[in-house]
Structure 1
Amino acid sequence: MSDGNTVNWDLPEPFTMTIEVRDEDTDRLGHANNVVYIRWLEEISWQHIDSLGMTWELHEKTGKAMAITRTEIDYLAAANSGDRLVLGTWLTGFDGRFRSARQFQLARESDGKTLVRAVSTHACVNMKSQRPTRMPAEFAQILGGAIVPGGRGLDTTG
């Protein structure tokens, strides 16, 4: 992981992942494909919650998981093959029962330019029925203790 010294992070102390853009990550326009950005967001999300102790084993033990309910992505500039990127993420919202939110920022290491900003929201689901369910205490403790204030949290208007 990069320390991200060249990046002006939107929030303090991101959990980061470095990315080397490969030829196969690009599309016909020659830049990273939007589907690849989604994959990177998913990869860092799993790495982050795993580092916090919300491992897949805990998911299996509780029979619960956090499912993405919405993702908003702002593409600000293109990433090209050979670019070295740093993706940062933060947990920015938690309602204490069912939902959480996560914020992302993707930057190019060489110049610190932010290429993408994204926000995702998640709901706790029963892994067997795939229906919404109250979050287990283990998840609530982990998520509640990792929230970074000042980010784009949960939209409680809708």
Structure 2
Amino acid sequence: MARAALEPRADREVFTLPLAVKAEHIDANGHVNNVVYVGWLQDAGTAHWNHLFDAATRARWSWVALRHEIDYLRPLPPGSRPVARTWVGDPQGPRFARFVRIEDEQGRLCAQGVSEWCLVDAASMRPHRIPPELLSPFVKAG
């Protein structure tokens, strides 16, 4: 059973990433295969991180996906031009929940997902509590 539609909190920045439906994404049922959505969740999170942080920060820190959960609500047929909208939840030590909505050209919710990500030191790959300077860019200035 699908959960209620994910909506960003008012205090969170929402990042939008245009997605491309490629011919190889279409499965035997004539729509985007579910495995592609997992890649899109990762792509949205990575693009958001790269957008917000400079190369030095990205060289010091990295993220490891721990789990993905996706609800499929409306198929995306060939030729679709969906977008991913993503934002983060509250940090839990080294972990962040990242929320993603996949919407079609009309803004209809087609899929939504929650991923759990863990911040790691890029050199040692050891988990690290999310420091305030890595949280603040995800929060709307108020």
TM-score (normalised: structure 2): 0.79
1:88–1:106: 8 Å Cα contact kept in structure 2?
A: yes
* Matching residue's letter, 1:94: P
Q: Which runs of 5+ in 2 are unaligned?
A: none
Q: Which runs of 5+ in 1 are unaligned?
A: 1-7, 149-158
Query: Superposition pairs for residues 79-118 of structure 1, below 5 Å?
Result: 79-95=76-92, 97-109=93-105, 111-118=106-113
1:71 counterpart residue number:
68
Q: C-alpha deviations, 1:104-132, integer Å up to 9, x for none?
A: 101111x3210101011111234455443
1:31 counterpart residue number:
31
CA–CA separation in structure 1 for the residues paired with 2:55 and 2:29? 36
Shift in Å, 1:34: 1.4
1:94–1:147: 8 Å Cα contact kept in structure 2?
A: no
Equivalent residue of 1:81, what SS?
Answer: coil
CA–CA separation in structure 2 for the residues paired with 1:69 and 1:107? 24
* Matching residue's letter, 1:106: I
Shift in Å, 1:145: 4.2
Question: What's the RMSD between the two structures over aligned residues?
Answer: 2.4
Query: Superposition pairs for residues 1-150 of structure 1, below 5 Å?
Result: 10-11=7-8, 14-53=14-53, 55=54, 57-60=56-59, 62=60, 64-95=61-92, 97-109=93-105, 111-135=106-130, 137=131, 140-147=132-139
Q: Percent identity?
A: 31
